[in-house]
Amino acid sequence: MSGKMWRVASRLVAGALASVLVAACGDPAESTSDPAAPTVMVLAYEGWSVPRELRDAFQRQTGFELSVKHVGASAASLTEHLTSSVGEPEGDVAVGLPARHAKRALAADVFASYTSPEANQGQHRFTIDDQQRLSAIDLADVCVNVDKSWFASRDRTKPKTLADLVRPEYAGLIALPDPSRTEAGFGFLLATIARYGETGWRQYWTQLRNNGAHLVPSLDAAYEERFSGASTSGSLPLVVAPASSPAEELKDDGTSPVAVLPDTCFRTVRYAGVLDDADHSERAHRVIDFLLSQQFQAAIAPTYGTYPTRERVELPEGWRGTAPLRTEPMTLPAADVTTSERRWLREWRAVWR
């Protein structure tokens, strides 16, 4: 699987997502597992699943069958479900919550404490809860992506920074996924807040709008339809998209026509946790162990188009040169994002109307 998987998992909040992974978890028609095996239930939003070979490996190692129930089309809808069913969870584990949603779930006492023996392999770098109720599963960086050939064929210099995007020579060249409707767009909004602060980000977005930036309702539409680096019909050489997108466009010679602007990258960390009052807490612990294991973490990049949280996990061939993990992405404290998210979006709408 390629970076497209990340985009599938980040589509419109209001839209229904198509699952394009190897197999749909828990599908009895396709399952090769022992039907008599005890089941452990994972709650996730649509588009998140586990390849069959990993589910089978989990069952061989634990004796439990891993089943996934999709709840809603986004992390926001999954979080709403979790907070409305505290004390009576419909599963044992929840997976895929970005930090801001995870913080909201923590405040509602959705999760129980559990520290996995696998959690000391680097995942502790992303801890956002002193009670150890959440485990960092993967990283999703959002950056400005560039169609290198578009600029080379016109003998024009590529932009390098966020500040460059509002210069006249880049007017009308970038596709921006809507921050109010997509995770990628919201990540870019956070990047501008991290870079320009509360006193400057609204002015920056005003400059983007006045410089002809194209606001696009979905990440798929921005990347696959408007971006010239991924579409023969696209005309825009700049797009906000996952940092792993250049690996998706990898050629046979190991090069990619798409590049990332490192100075524009913003990082999102996604978490999993054992649900409080889960029916099968011991089984749930084994799920967290598995998600943090070397075996599962090595499958994150090719399966989901994101990056592992475990240290010393090799990325797929070709990623090191075209889509390496950024060492200094922009970030914001999860608690600040959770507190200010609605206000920031309200203020952003006022700028872009």
Could you tell me the residue range of the domain that residue 166 belongs to?
A: 141-266+327-352
Q: What percent of the chain has pLDDT over 70?
A: 90
Residues 295 and 335 occupy one common structural domain: no
Band of residue 35 on the pLDDT scale cut at 50, 70, 90: low
- H helices within 179-280, ranges in order? 183-210, 219-220, 245-248
Residues 281 and 205 occupy one common structural domain: no
Q: Has this prediction a pTM greater than 0.95?
A: no
Q: What percent of the chain has pLDDT over 90?
A: 85
Residues 159 and 292 occupy one common structural domain: no
Does 9 or 39 have the greater pLDDT score?
A: 39
Band of residue 36 on the pLDDT scale cut at 50, 70, 90: confident
Residues 47 and 113 occupy one common structural domain: yes
**For range 92-109, the mean pLDDT:** 96
Residues 77 and 90 occupy one common structural domain: yes
Count structural domains, the chain.
2
pLDDT at 22 over 80: no
Q: Which residue has the tokens 């649509």?
A: 46
**For range 214-225, the mean pLDDT:** 96
**For range 33-60, the mean pLDDT:** 91
Q: Quick one: pLDDT at residue 338?
A: 93
Q: Is 65 helix (H, G, I), strand (E, B) or coil?
A: strand
Residues 332 and 188 occupy one common structural domain: yes
Considering only the C-alpha atoms of the chain, give the largest distance between any 2 of them, rounded to a whole number of Å: 65
CATH code at position 318: 3.40.190.10
Residues 258 and 291 occupy one common structural domain: no
Q: Which residues contact 348 (CB under 8 A, 6 or more apart)?
A: 179, 180, 189, 202, 205
**For range 20-37, the mean pLDDT:** 44
The CA distance from 285 to 330, in Å, is 32
Per-residue pLDDT of 138-165, as tens digits, reads: 999 999 999 999 999 999 999 999 999 9
Q: Quick one: pLDDT at residue 28?
A: 35
Residues 114 and 68 occupy one common structural domain: yes
